[in-house]
Structure 1
Amino acid sequence: MPRVWYNILPDLPEALAPPLDPETEEPIKPEKLLRIFAGELVKQEMSKERYVEIPGEIRELYAKIGRPTPLFRATNLEKKLGTPARIYFKYEGATTTGSHKINTALAQAYYAKKQGIERLVTETGAGQWGTALSLAGALLGLKVRVYMARASFQQKPYRRVLMNVYGAEVYPSPSNRTEVGKRFLKEDPNHPGGLGIAISEAIEDVLRNESARYSLGSVLNHVLMHQTVIGLEAKEQMKEFEEPDVIIGCVGGGSNFAGLAYPFVKDVLDGKAEYEFIAVEPKAAPSMTSGIYTYDYGDSGKLTPKMKMHTLGHTYYVPPIHAGGLRYHGLAPTLSVLLNHGIVKPVAYHQTEVFEAALTFARSEGIVPAPESAHAIKAAIDLALQAKEKGEERVILFNLSGHGLLDLKGYDDFLEGKLQDYEPEEIPALNGMI
C-alpha cells in the first residue's frame, strides 16, 4: 500500500489557471474556501509538493476497507474476443463500498474530524460517492447529508438504502430543502437533477451551518490526488507482469481516470515512458469531446468558484442515463490541461453499446461492472479488437472502478430493450451562455 499520494500539479505542462471568486471575478482568496472545505483540504488543493504523506490513521482505514485492491488479467475476455492483446484491470469494486470513491471519502472525513467539523454535506450522482462518504462518516463519527441526483434516486433505490444503513440523510435533488432546489423544481417539477444541481444544494446547505463543511467526490486537485493510491498500487502490481501500452479510465469529473492514470502520466511527463491514455465519457455528457475550454461554474446554481476547464456549460441539461456518476457538465482542471496538450485522448460512447460491452465482460470474467466502469470496458474491448484486426500484441490496463450489483435496474432495462441512447442536448457553452 502506498505511503504517499501523488500530486500532479508540479508536473503539469502548464500551470493551472486560478479559480475565480464568483462575486469579484478575481482569483479567490483561500479564506473563502475555508468556509466551504476543511482547512487541510484547501492546503492540499493548492500544494506544490509532488508527494503528500498519507497519515497512518488513513492507511489503517484503507486496509480495513480492502486496500490494496487486486489487479487481474482478463484472460477469459481475451479468449472470448480472440485477441492477441493482453487485458488487465484494477478492481476497485473489491472495496467495502464497491467503488474507488472510498479512497478520498476516508481522507476527507479524517481531516474534517481532526478539525472538529460535525457534519459533511455532499452530492452524489449514481450513489457510489454518497455511499463512500456515508461509511467514512460512520467510521469517523461524523454526520453526513447527501443530495442525490433525482434520476439516480429513482433508478437506484438501494444506493439510498445503503447510505441510510451507514447513518446518512439522503434527499433527491433538486429538493425543496434549498432555494436552488426550489428554483429548479419550479421550472420542472419532474427535473431529473444532476451533479451540478446537487453540488449547489450541498453548498447552500453548508453555508447555513457553521459546523458543517462540503465534501466533493471528484474534479478538484485534492480529490484526484487521494485517488492516486489506485495507480501507485497498479504500477507496483504490473511489475509482476509487464508494462502497459494503453491506460484507460471512464470520466465524469475525472477522479476515476486520474486515480489510475496520473502516476503513469508522470512517467510520460518525465520522458521515461510512452503510454497511451484514453479517457472515456458518455455521448450524453460529452465535456471532453464537445465542450470548450473556458471558465465556468462547477455547479448549476453558480455558488462554486469558477474554474477553467472543459465544460458544456453549467446550464447544460444532462439526460438521465444510467451512468449517473458521469452526468456532469464539467471536467477536472488538471485533466483539462492534459487534454489540451494531447497527452490524454478522449472518446465517447452511447449507453446501449456500453451496456453491451458490460454484458460481454460479465459473461466472461464474472464481474458485473458499474455502468460508469463499463465505459472503460467498452474502450478496452474496442482496442483489443483493433489489435486482433492488425495482428498486434498490445497490453491494455483499465480501471474497473466499481461493481454494478446495485445498478441492476439499468441492466434489466437494457435486457428488456428499454434503454435509449441520447444525443447531446443543445450545449449552452458553445452558444456563449457561460
Structure 2
Amino acid sequence: MKNQKKFILEESRIPTHWYNIQADMKNKPLPPLNPETKQPMTAEELSRVFAAECSRQELDTQNRWIDIPEEVMEKYRYYRSTPLVRAYALEKALDTPAHIYFKNESVNPLGSHKINSALPQCYYCKQEGTTNVTTETGAGQWGAALSYAAKVFGLEAAVYQVKITMQQKPYRSSIMRTFGAAVTGSPSMSTRAGKNILTLDPTHPGSLGTAISEAVELATITPGCKYALGSVLSHVTLHQTIIGLEAEKQMEMAGEYPDIVIACFGGGSNFGGIAFPFMRHNINDGRNTEFIAAEPASCPKLTRGVFRYDFGDEAGYTPLLPMFTLGHGFKPANIHAGGLRYHGAGTIVSQLIKDKMMHGTDIPQLESFDAGILFARTEGIIPAPESCHAIAATIREAKKCREEGKRKTILFNLSGHGLIDMPSYDRYIDGDLQNYTISDEEIIRNTEGLYKA
C-alpha cells in the first residue's frame, strides 16, 4: 500500500520468545556482587528478594531465546502487537529526507511499555507461591503497570512513588489505587531507610534510589513478599525485547531496516527492549545500525558518569552492580521526566557503552518539551515527558540528514503517552520550566569511594 501509515502484526505472528543479548555479547557484563563479600551473587542469593525465575534470567549468559509462558502470552494478546507507525507529518515538518518510524507502546491499556515486564514478573511470583509484591516508581508508569499485573495474578501490591513526582503527577497514584495497590510517597516514615533519609534531609524530594530502598526493605521483612523492578536489571530488559522483536517483523513489512535506533534512557529497559533485537544483527551479521540512548542533561550517567560497582538504591540494600553511575547518593533535579531521574545504567548497557556498541546523548528539559509539542502537533499523540527525549534525539538526527542530504531510516520507541502528564505541559507552555545541569565537582563528590569495576 502506498504511504501506509501503520504496520500491525496479526496475533499469530507475535513473538513467543524473549531475546537474551547476553548470550551473543562478546564481552559479558560483569556479575553483580554481594556487597559484604564482594563475591559474584548467585541466583539463590538474588531470589531472596526477586522471583526465583527472574533471578535465573538475570544471570543467564548462555540461552539466546527464553520462552514466554503461555499465561503471559495470553495477557500480551490483550494489547500486542503494538503498531509500528511512519511519522510522515513529522518528516514533512522537519523537511527531512529521513524516513522516521516509531513503535507506539502508548496504546496498551496502561499507557506505556512497562506492562511488558510487570506481567511476567507477577506471573513468576504467583507460580512460586508469593502473595505480595512491592516496588518503586518514578513517573508512575511502572507502578501503574505492576499494580494492574498484581491484580491480574491475584497478588497484593505496595508501591513507593518518588515524592516529588507523586506531587507532579497525582493521577498516577490514583491509577495504582484503582487497581488495589497501596501507594506511599518516598522517602517516607514507614521504613528505616526512609526515616534515615528524612533525618538527614527533611525536605528530600525523593529519587528512584530512595524509593527502591524502601521497597526492598519492605520485601525483606514481609512474609511471602518479593520485590519487582521496573528497569535497570537484565531480566527486565529481557522481557521488553518483545518490542524490538515485533518491530523487526514490522520493519520488514515496511520494506526498510533502521540505520538508527533511538529510545529514551532511565535505567535501560525500554532502550534495550527496542534496540537489543536489532543489535544482535550488528553483533552476528555485520550490520552497522547506530544505537542512541537519550537521557536528560540533568542526569547524564551515560555521557558523564563513571564506570564503577555501585548500589542500585540510596540506602545500599541492593547488590553492587557494574554500571555507569552518578553515585547512588545523587539527588536528581526535579525535572518532569520522572522516569529518567535514575543515577545509574543497567549492567548490559554499561558494558555495551564500554564496547562502543551504542552511545548516549544528553537532552535539556526545554528541548525535550519542544520536541514533544512538535510531535503532538504533527502526529496527534501527546508523548510522555520521558518519550520526548527520544523524539528530541530523533529530530536532531533527522535535521542532520537534511543538512547532509542523506536519507536514513530512523526508528524510535514511543514508550508512553503523556495524557496524565498535562500539568508538566502546562508549566512548559506557561514558561515555568527550566534546564538543569550537574557540575563535574558534584559528579566527583558523589562517586568518590565507589568500588572499582
Q: Write the deviation string for residues 382-403 of structure 1: whole angstroms up to 9, x where unpaired.
A: 1111111111111100000000
Distance (Å, rounded) in 2 between the aligned partners of 1:208 and 1:289: 37
In structure 2, what residue type is equivalent to 1:80?
A
Aligned equivalents of 1:190, 1:127: Cα separation in 2: 21
Q: 1:431 to 1:157 in 2, by over 3 A?
A: closer
Contact 1:355 1:414 in 2 (8 A): yes
For residues 327-366 of structure 1, what are the structure 2 equivalents within 5 Å?
327-366=341-380
Aligned with 2:187 (options 174, 182, 185) = 174
Counterparts of 1:132-171 in structure 2 under 5 Å?
Answer: 132-171=145-184
Aligned residue number for residue 144 of structure 2: 131
- The correspondence of residues 31-430 of structure 1 with structure 2, limited to 5 A, is 31-47=44-60, 48-64=62-78, 66-241=79-254, 242-424=256-438, 426-428=442-444
Where 2:298 maps in the other structure, the secondary structure is coil
CA–CA separation in structure 1 for the residues paired with 2:183 and 2:376: 30
User: Conserved in 2, the CA contact under 8 Å of 1:104 and 1:226?
Assistant: yes
Once the 2 structures are TM-superposed, how far is the Cα of residue 210 of structure 1 from its aligned partner? 2.2
Residue 201 of structure 1 aligns with an amino acid whose one-letter code is: E
Contact between 1:20 and 1:305, CA under 8 Å: does it hold in 2? yes
Percent of aligned pairs with the same residue? 49
2-structure distance, mates of 1:342, 1:31:
32
Give TM-score scaled by structure 1 length: 0.98
Deviation (angstroms), 1:184: 1.2
Contact 2:44 / 2:52 at 8 angstroms: preserved in 1? no
Partner of 2:449: 433
CA contact (8 A) 1:70 1:90 kept: yes
Amino acid at match of 1:191: H
Q: What is the one-letter code of the residue matched to 2:116?
A: N
Matches of 1:187 and 1:248, distance apart in 2: 39
Q: Distance in 2 between matches of 1:121 and 1:180?
A: 15
CA contact (8 A) 1:297 1:307 kept: yes
Question: Is this contact kept in 2: 1:291–1:430, CA < 8 A?
Answer: no
SS state at 2:294 partner: strand
CA distance in 1 between counterparts of 2:435 and 2:112 reads 25
Structure 2 distance, partners of 1:259, 1:431, is 28
Structure 1 pair 287/218, CA: closer, same or farther in 2 (3 Å)?
same
Change in CA separation of 1:118 and 1:251 when aligned onto 2, cut-off 3 Å: same
- Deviation of 1:181 after TM superposition, in Å, equals 0.5
Number of the residue aligned with 2:9: none
User: How far has the Cα of 1:414 moved from its partner?
Assistant: 0.3
Q: What CA distance in whole angstroms lies between the structure 1 residues aligned with 2:217 and 2:335?
A: 26
Secondary structure of the 1:240 match is helix
Unpaired runs of 5+ in structure 1? none
2: CA distance, partners of 1:309 / 1:359? 33
Distance change in 2, residues 1:243/1:301 (3 Å): same
Cα distance in 2 between the residues matched to 1:361 and 1:292: 33
**CA distance in 1: counterparts of 2:264 and 2:408, whole angstroms:** 20
User: Aligned-pair distance for 1:45?
Assistant: 1.0
State the one-letter code of the partner of 2:365. Answer: Q
CA deviations on 1:255-306 (whole Å, 9 max, x unpaired) are: 0100000000100011331101111100111110110111111111000000
SS of 2:135's partner is strand
List gaps (5 residues or longer) in structure 2: 1-13
Deviation of 1:188 after TM superposition, in Å, equals 2.0
Counterpart of 1:43, as a letter, is R
Amino acid at match of 1:417: G
**Cα deviation digits, residues 152-193 of structure 1 (max 9, x gap):** 110000000000001101000001111110111122222111
Match for 1:127: what amino acid? G
AA paired with 1:107?
P
Which range moves more in the overlay, 416-425 or 2-11?
A: 416-425
Aligned length, in residue pairs: 433
Structure 1 ranges of 4+ moved more than 6 A = none
Measure how far apart 1:30 and its partner are: 2.9
Distance in 1 of aligned mates of 2:438 and 2:267: 17
Instruction: State the alpha-carbon separation in 2 of the partners of residues 291 and 352 from structure 1.
Output: 22
TM-score by length of 2: 0.94
How far apart, CA to CA, are the structure 2 residues paired with 1:322 and 1:237? 32
The Cα offsets for residues 188-218 of structure 1, whole Å up to 9 and x where unpaired, read as: 2221111111101001001111210000001
Structure 1: how far apart are the matches of 2:142 and 2:444? 27
Q: Distance in 2 between matches of 1:312 and 1:12?
A: 25
Cα distance in structure 2, aligned partners of 1:31 and 1:240:
43
Contact 2:94 2:398 in 1 (8 A): yes
SS of residue paired to 2:183: strand
* Structure 1 residue 428: Cα displacement: 4.4
